[in-house]
Structure 1
Amino acid sequence: MTNTPYDPAAEGAQMRFDGRMSYTDYLHLDPILTAQHPLSTAHDEMLFIVQHQTSELWMRLAIHELTAARALLLDDTLRPAFKMLARIARIFEQLNSAWDVLRTMTPSDYTAFRETLGQSSGFQSWQYRRIEFILGNRNAAMLRPHAHRPDLAALLEEDLRQPSLYDAALRQLPRAGIPLPDAVLNRDPATPHVATPEVEEAWARVYRAPETHWELYELAEKLVDLEDYFRRWRFNHLTTVERVIGLKRGTGGTGGTSYLKRMLDTVLFPELWTLRTTL
């Protein structure tokens, strides 16, 4: 053990960055780390801002992975998509952990700055809306909070014209010799998928003989894993809101916890859950 100061340059570490790309440059940290602008003097407003900004960054990555995974499935390239689906599940695990930090904020802490939020609310997150649309929870009414931004509205409308991730997965079944009704395969993509006995039976065939349909079996389990983590994120959102504001209405005018409880009833890949009862 020595007290001699360590100089990383002695082992070749770069220590001068005049005119060269540094860590701060590559990650554009200056705009990121100066994007927090509390509107009150409340200490916990910084926590609230950082938690939501970092969540939006994780959602940015989730969208990057979801759109790529969907494209691969539509192109019948399953194995690379599996890695992306596994990553998306872990992104939502990371988002779940963020609620643990936010829950250190008490109702008194939040009340000290809540009115500065105005009508802004996480309900208006266009990235979250994109994730829902890509996953298959499609509701054209949810375009309205974004009508004031034509660029974002156009992006979301384009998502509604594309097959959902579940649509892309369902198309793999007939390609493996497991038929599905035309009404399932050729429905209007802007409408949500409605569970059918035919789709449940098709997935059940996969689960009864996983050794025969191993890629479809793995695809199904990747989707279940993703929805499992997504459900946990929604549930933790609900419990955090209830812990901080109780039964008050949300700043964006939603019912608060009543709205979030309604969202818990949404099932993204329904037949992959119901088949477990009938196997």
Structure 2
Amino acid sequence: MSAIGRVSEGESTSIVSGRQGAAALSLANSIRLQILKKGKDRLANQDLDQARIARDDVTIRPEIAEFFHCVLDKTENRYSYRSYLAMDVLKPLLPTQGRIQAGRELVSHLLRDLAEFELMTLENSGRDFLPHGRPSRQVALKRIRKASDLRESTNPSQETIVSMTGPIESILRFSVLPVSDQHDEYLFIRVLQCYETIFTMMAMLLEEAVMATESGEVSDVASRIESAATTLDRASGLFSLLATMPPANFRSFRLQTDGSSAIQSEAYKLVEIFCALPRRVRIDSPAFLSVPKVRQRALSDHDSLASWYCRQRTRWSDVESMMMTDALERLETSHQKWKRTHYSIAKSMIGSSGGTGGTEGVEYLRKRTEARLFWSIGEKCPHQGLVPKMRKQLH
């Protein structure tokens, strides 16, 4: 055989791997389209079996492997908030320490994808995709406009935003796995993914703030706390976007999400423990029991912003004291506003129904509105003379 016709063992393996990868991608696309037509819960056993086999192929792209993993979550008793939102598919796009801007970019991509999905509804293309409960033209246009406004507010500089091509497009494509055929579940998933990204960014900023306390530079700590508050404030319109979904549409697929609840959000709990270590009753509650890694971190009795504030407050100048108090107060106020809005939206959507994560549902959210991020400042070091406005917030 001539050199031209000869294929080495390595090349042969590469060709076979390439074919296997292509087959896995083709299967993933087929399953993805079926999910967008009838919902993940109605996939045939044959599709699930094929996904299980394809997932074990080491040659497939990471997002495809994670997509199959999410497809199989219920059948393998792994269903959770994280798998419902396909956060492991989105993982390459999530912010990391030193790359917090990536979170703003991801939120922008998620909102643009949502707007494109609503535009598809208007143009009546993809008419088989999530066919039930489609919005009116007026509502679809409202969503598109709100998504555009939110992209500007959450990432006003639009710096380093790249187009949705190549890996980014593939990751986004395989990160929506509605359990039903309800059109508005697409909106629901994308909004929750945005909030998970927002809280991931906040947790990283607050962890940086805790680390900055070691240097003793009050301005560095305060600036990171302010950035966390700004990040949450800029995303406030997400609830307004979600509110365009009629409660009846949400209730039509809500029971199928039983087992997945925002109470399982690790990012949200990290925000909480960096601000102040929770009381033991909170650490032993379903909220923290559902996130064992974060709970273990809370039990390690690591430093928090509240404990650092109580230790150092008397050593600061008046300017430094006011700087820190203003930063803490702003984050507390932003968080309280977020919780009140969350409670209001949930109440209008599900009324008095129980939660999908084993909680009391709306009643649980109502009780949590009374909690404070920096609760221990007002309780453990009142003698340190917090300004009246801060004292009112924290008690």
If the length of structure 1 is used for normalisation, what is the TM-score? 0.70
Mapped contact 1:66–1:85 kept (Cα < 8 A): yes
Select the residue among 210, 213, 236 that pairs with 2:318: 213
Q: 1:173 to 1:251 in 2, by over 3 A?
A: same
Query: SS of the residue aligned with 2:284?
Result: helix
The answer to whether structure 1 residue 239 and structure 2 residue 344 are counterparts is: yes
User: In the TM superposition, what whole-angstrom CA distance separates every residue of 1:57-83 from its partner, at most 9, and x where no partner exists?
Assistant: 111111110000111123202212222
Counterpart residue number, 1:11: none
Deviation at 1:91, TM superposition (A): 1.5
Match of residue 263 from structure 1: 368
For 1:229 and 1:72, how far apart are their aligned partners in 2? 22
Q: Is the aligned partner of 1:140 residue 2:283?
A: yes
Q: Percent identity?
A: 23
Equivalent residue letter for 1:275:
P
The aligned residue for residue 129 of structure 1 is 269
* Structure 1 residue 158, shift from structure 2 partner: 2.0
Q: CA deviation at 1:173?
A: 1.6
- Relative to structure 1, the CA distance from residue 58 to residue 43 in structure 2 (aligned partners, 3 Å threshold; closer, same or farther) is same
Cα displacement (A) at 1:103: 1.1
**Structure 1 CA distance for aligned equivalents of residues 223 and 247 of structure 2:** 40
Q: Secondary structure, in 3 states, of the residue corresponding to 1:38?
A: coil
Note if 1:225 corresponds to 2:365: no
- CA–CA distance in 1 between the matches of 2:269 and 2:303? 15
Kept after mapping to 1: 8 A contact 2:226/2:331: yes
In structure 2, the gaps of 5 or more residues are 1-161, 379-384
CA RMSD of aligned residues (A): 2.5
SS of the equivalent of 1:113 reads helix
- 8 Å contact from structure 1 (residues 36, 49) kept in 2: yes
The 1:26–1:232 alpha-carbon spacing in structure 2 relative to 1, beyond 3 Å, is farther
In 1, are the aligned partners of 2:223 and 2:327 still within 8 Å (CA)? no
Aligned-partner Cα distance in 2 for 1:261–1:255: 10
CA contact (8 A) 2:219 2:323 kept: no
What code does the residue aligned with 1:145 have?
S
- Give 1:107's match in structure 2, choosing from 235, 238, 247: 247
Q: Is the 8 A contact 1:99 1:240 kept in 2?
A: yes
Secondary structure of the residue aligned to 1:112 is: helix
Deviations 1:127-180 (A, max 9, x none): 11111122225122143113xxxxxx234422442112211222222433xxxx
> 1:89 touches 1:226 (CA, 8 Å); kept in 2?
yes
- Matched with 1:180 is none
- Give the secondary structure class of the aligned counterpart of 1:104: coil
Structure 1 segment 53-202 matched on structure 2, within 5 A: 53-136=193-276, 138=278, 139-142=282-285, 143-146=288-291, 153-160=292-299, 161-176=301-316
Shift in alpha-carbon separation, 1:278–1:97, aligned structure 2, 3 A: closer
8 Å contact 2:269–2:294 — kept in the other structure? no
Contact 1:121 1:250 in 2 (8 A): yes
Residue 16 of structure 1 is matched in structure 2 by: none
Cα distance in 2 between the residues matched to 1:273 and 1:174: 11
Please state if 1:275 is matched with 2:375: no
1:49 aligned to 2:201?
no
Q: Kindly provide the amino acid, as one letter, of the partner of residue 101 in structure 1.
A: L
Deviation at 1:277, TM superposition (A): 9.1
TM-score normalised according to structure 2 size: 0.51
Residue 290 of structure 2 aligns to a residue whose secondary structure is: helix
Aligned counterparts of 2:391 and 2:370: Cα–Cα separation in 1: 21
Equivalent in the alignment of 1:191 = none
Deviations 1:39-68 (A, max 9, x none): 111011001110111111111111110000
Question: Separation in 2 of the partners of 1:28 and 1:124?
Answer: 26
Distance 1:129 1:245, change over 3 A: same
Q: Which has the higher contact order (CA 8 A, sep 6+)?
A: 1
Kept in 2: contact 1:62–1:91 (CA 8 A) = yes
Q: After the TM superposition, which segments of 4 or more aligned residues of structure 1 sit over 4 Å from their partners? A: 22-27
1:259 aligned partner, one-letter code: Y
- Contact 2:199/2:268 (<8 A) preserved: yes
Moved more, 94-103 or 214-223: 94-103
Q: 2:233 and 2:390 mapped to 1: Cα distance?
A: 26
Return 212-221 or 264-273, whichever deviates more.
264-273
Deviation at 1:273, TM superposition (A): 7.4
Change (3 A) 1:274 1:248: farther
CA contact (8 A) 1:65 1:88 kept: yes
